[in-house]
A and B are shown apart, each in its own frame.
Chain A
Amino acid sequence: MFLEFEKICRSFGGVNALSQVSFGVEAGTIHGLIGPNGSGKTTLVNLISGLTPPDSGRLTLDSRPIHGLPPYRIAALGVARTFQNIRLFSNMTCLENVMAGQHLMARRALFPRLLHLPSARLDELKSREEAFACLSRAGIEDKALMLAGSLSYGERRKLEIARAIALGPRLLLLDEPIAGMRQREIQEMEFLFRSLVESGITIILIEHNMPFVMRLCSRITVLQFGQTITTGTPDEVARHPDVIEAYLGGDGE
């Protein structure tokens, strides 16, 4: 398993956000993470990206333990993410947002810049080109020089994805990436996610749009009240009695 959760627990005060969460994500797949609101999906993703440490349990990426590592180290291992409540750099342009995302990939050394060496200029041009390519992939290259704060909701989500791609990730965590998007944009995102997987990236997808999740994900983990109900293929999950109960309620309710 590319990413493996073993009995992960995390509580905040008296609230058990995650209890004994265990499942695995296979490399090169889109793995869905679904569950009612408050079931711990975002906490789980925060845990992977290092914003929150687990209280107990193990989390391994490519057999390497990553639980307890600070966020910047986990990012350096090739993990990028988007946020449910979109954290863009509003006062920068779209291109700059993506260039910022290149932190781990670009050198931007100070010394050549101080001396105005040609290598500094070339470095910058290359950086801009690659940033532009990420914007194109997300479908917003025409907004490159606009301030991020002036974008529409759907465009902002695309920008966050473009910025995450700029990191050159092996694992991409998407927290409700298509929330608030129009049908046409959702199709564009479906195409984008599939192409990302084809280029070797593993995706963990948190989404509430069930048809979307069922179409795209090869495996899905269902959470409720911080516990894993089940993990399996979309068909298995859709037929699972506990999952049906979690979403639709039991008989005679």
Chain B
Amino acid sequence: MSRLFAVYGSLINFIGINALLALSLYITLSAGQLSLGNAAFAGIGAYSSGILTMRFDLPYPFSVAAGACLAAVTAVLIGAPVLRIRGVFLAMATLAFGEVVRIAAVNLDITGGALGLVGIPNKTTALVIYGVLACAAYFLAVLKGSRTGWSFACIREDETAAMVMGINTTYYKITAFVMGAFIAGIAGALYAHLNFIITPGEFGFSAAVQILIYNVVGGIRSVYGPIFGAFILTALPEALRAIGVTAGPLRSGVNGVILLLVILYLPNGLNSYFGKKNKAQPHWR
């Protein structure tokens, strides 16, 4: 068992982090909001927690929490204006936000510029990653049948009908957005303490799309979908590489095509993704 971990430890960690990132987008998608900003929120979590640990000697759990909170606060600030926009345009706005974060990371001294933040102590273990993942997954699964979860589902299905049923759609959309940012922030903070270095490029457009792809591939009917998608798409390239097939440009190409299809069929498409094709499963389970 420990030999397995010695060889595949890094992969196991990445799968866990990616699953957490996938869940962060899942919660936002469950309220019908297509946000491509979660990679940026992960970046905010990563950089702020890294800086806090390195420069201010904050204990690891506190810097992770602080990183996640900073990501959440940012989400609150940009949420109110941004979430008035719907559909593809929201995706574009959040993408633009992501670019702002990335450019800030490249240009600020405190983040180490283009070369990134180097020398972050290695504190994250697989146990921590999967512990957090399990808690997040459980929380989101339970959330589904709560007042908040029902509100998300109604907003996703038909926002106007949700409004006249007494749902404060603005509040719930922002809540979904902020929850996603918080989880992404945790994922980023855990990631920062994994490999000693983080660079701005890791939290850019490509990562944002990748997180969406985890959800698209895994399906968003339940909490297991995004986790499954993250697992498949993280493990598969490694498995292919092991047998001598390198992904390279093909992977980016495939990502691009999937993204195009999602955007083209999006506002309704995301909904039919939630559709129960054959048997009616209870929503609240």
Where the two chains meet, the residues of A that have a C-beta atom closer than 8 Å to any C-beta of B are 49-51, 70-72, 74-76, 80-81, 83, 87-93, 96, 99-101, 103-104, 106-110, 113-114, 124, 145-147, 149, 163, 167
Contact = CB atoms under 8 A, between A and B. Distances in A.
Query: 5 tightest CB-CB pairs across the interface, nearest first?
Result: A75-B166, A89-B157, A71-B163, A87-B161, A108-B147
A241 to B, nearest CB: 37
B59 interface: no
Contact of B167 (A72, A81, A96, A146): A72
A131 to B, nearest CB: 11
A103 B166 contact: yes
B interface majority secondary structure: helix
A243 B272 CA distance: 46
Interface of B: 139, 142-143, 145-148, 150-151, 153-154, 157-158, 160-161, 163-169, 271-272, 274-276, 280, 282-284
Nearest to B158: A87
B280 A146 contact: yes
A96 B139 contact: no
Contacts of A114: 139, 142
Given A103-B167, A109-B147, A110-B143, 11 more contacts: A72-B166, A75-B163, A75-B165, A89-B157, A89-B158, A89-B161, A91-B272, A107-B147, A108-B150, A113-B146, A167-B165
Contacts of A100: 150, 153-154, 165
A146 B139 CA distance: 28
B276 A91 contact: yes
A75 B276 contact: no
A102 to B, nearest CB: 9
Contacts of A110: 142-143, 146-148
A159 B116 CA distance: 57
A147 B157 CA distance: 13
